[in-house]
């Protein structure tokens, strides 16, 4: 080891570290001013001078600190060993950005096989491949990753984020916008994955996914998922489960509808709620029309007559036969215009129907599915 003038030292053109951050160098230069160079650099003779093998940051920081000489160990090594030693020194350092590390590995592979390179660096071959994958990204994304390592302007764009963006290599404009989104919304790796999957799954909504927060992206996907789910055919059992769930949701929605809410909403909130209601109404109207058409084209002689359930008061179509809430038989002779309460008799069939059966019919009673049933009081009647 000896002191060598800084003027006699040449930087290594194959130095793994291509990016030197100003803040980091200033910190090291200040430390050297106060305590000196604690660890000598390693150089090799080259053309009457010395080329750095290890320690270029210490060399640069020493120049910033105003030193004229630096302690150095002189080794006579070939290009392969120099590249290996230089990479090994930098490989484990946290401040070596992923792109510089990947480029260094790429350079080392010129001298040795992938297996030997992985063994030399003490990593698996799969880890080696993961490092090299970053070089498949376009220069703009590599630059973003390098800049995110700078202490002066640390970002939330990491190596893991960058790897995910490989799926957009054919769309570099979207890649850049995704980087901006990751940094502005501070997206985690898993959140970034969700946005990218959304873009790939529904490319026509890409612009929306790039602009809206993740929670809105998830809501859009749910709506699309519901639409896709409707395409799938029903079986008898699943259709019945769906009908029950639909009626339950309708009852819950009915409980939520309360006009007193209006007094506490802002104008913008009322606008949003009205839009939601209109969308729901349009879907319900369309669904109701299809139900009506299916009933009208049937052979049961459908008439859209609504009546009140005699027990719980729920409004039902007379064709429902039983109340959807309390399961009471809807067609009671007691409510029929053809029933004579005094003589307890039907004027159409001229058969006797006792008062007890007329008031609380069962599904075995004559009134249960009587085609001559004529309710005295109809809620409404649609032709």
**For residue range 43-88, what is the model confidence (pLDDT) as tens digits?**
999 888 999 888 888 888 998 899 999 999 999 888 778 877 777 7
Q: What sections of 159-235 are H helices per DSSP?
A: 159-164, 172-185, 189-201, 206-211, 214-231
Is it the case that residue 210 has pLDDT exceeding 80? yes
pLDDT at 180 over 90: yes
For the chain, domains (ranges, CATH) are 2-134 (3.90.1530.30), 137-229 (no CATH), 300-383 (no CATH)
Cα Rg for the chain, rounded, in angstroms?
A: 40
Catalytic residue (one of 56, 159, 191, 316): 56
- The strand pairing partners of 5, in sequence order, are 69
Residue 94 has pLDDT above 90, yes or no: no
The DSSP line for 14-35 is T-S-----HHHHHHHHHHHHHH
Q: Rounded to an integer, what distance in angstroms lies between the CA atom of residue 165 and that of residue 172?
A: 9
In whole angstroms, give the CA distance from residue 349 to residue 347. 6
Q: Would the pTM count as exceeding 0.75? A: no
pLDDT tens by residue, 232-272: 667 777 888 888 888 889 889 988 999 999 999 999 999 99
Task: Please confirm, yes or no, whether 219 is among the known catalytic residues.
Answer: no
Using 50, 70 and 90 to split pLDDT, how confident is the model at 16? low
């Amino acid at each position: 080891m000896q002191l060598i003038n800084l003027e006699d030292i040449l930087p290594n053109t194959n130095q793994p570290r291509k990016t030197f951050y100003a803040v980091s160098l200033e910190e090291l230069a200040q430390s050297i001013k106060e305590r000196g160079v604690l660890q000598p650099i390693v150089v090799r003779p080259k053309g009457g001078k010395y080329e750095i093998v290890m320690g270029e940051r210490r060399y640069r920081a020493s120049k910033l600190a105003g030193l004229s000489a630096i302690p150095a160990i002189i080794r006579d090594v070939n290009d392969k060993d120099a590249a290996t030693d230089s990479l090994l020194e930098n490989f484990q350092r946290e401040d070596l950005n992923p792109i510089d590390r990947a480029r260094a590995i790429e350079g080392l592979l010129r001298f040795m096989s992938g297996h030997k390179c992985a063994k030399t660096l003490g990593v698996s071959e799969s880890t080696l491949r993961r490092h090299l994958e970053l070089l498949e990204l376009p220069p703009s994304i590599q630059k973003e990753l390098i800049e995110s390592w700078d202490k002066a302007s640390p970002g939330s764009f990491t190596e893991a984020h960058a790897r995910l963006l490989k799926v957009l290599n054919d769309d570099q404009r979207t890649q850049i916008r995704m980087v901006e989104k990751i940094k502005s919304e501070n997206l985690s790796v898993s959140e970034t994955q969700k946005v990218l999957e959304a873009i790939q799954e529904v490319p026509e909504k890409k612009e929306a996914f790039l602009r809206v927060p993740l929670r809105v992206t998830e809501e859009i996907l749910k709506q699309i998922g519901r639409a896709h789910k409707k395409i799938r055919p029903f079986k008898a059992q699943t259709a019945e489960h769906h009908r029950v769930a639909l009626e339950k949701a309708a009852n819950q929605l009915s409980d939520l509808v309360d006009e007193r809410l209006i007094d506490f909403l802002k104008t913008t909130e009322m606008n949003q709620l009205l839009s939601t209601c209109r969308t729901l109404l349009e879907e319900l109207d369309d669904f109701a029309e299809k139900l009506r058409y299916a009933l009208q084209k049937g052979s049961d002689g459908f008439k859209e007559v609504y009546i009140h359930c005699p027990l719980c008061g729920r409004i039902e179509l007379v064709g429902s036969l039983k109340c959807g809430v309390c399961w009471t038989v809807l067609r009671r002779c007691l409510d029929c215009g053809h029933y004579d309460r005094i003589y307890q008799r039907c004027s159409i069939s001229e058969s006797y129907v006792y008062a007890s059966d007329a008031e609380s019919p069962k599904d075995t009673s004559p009134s249960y599915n009587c085609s001559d049933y004529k309710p005295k009081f109809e809620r409404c009647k649609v032709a």
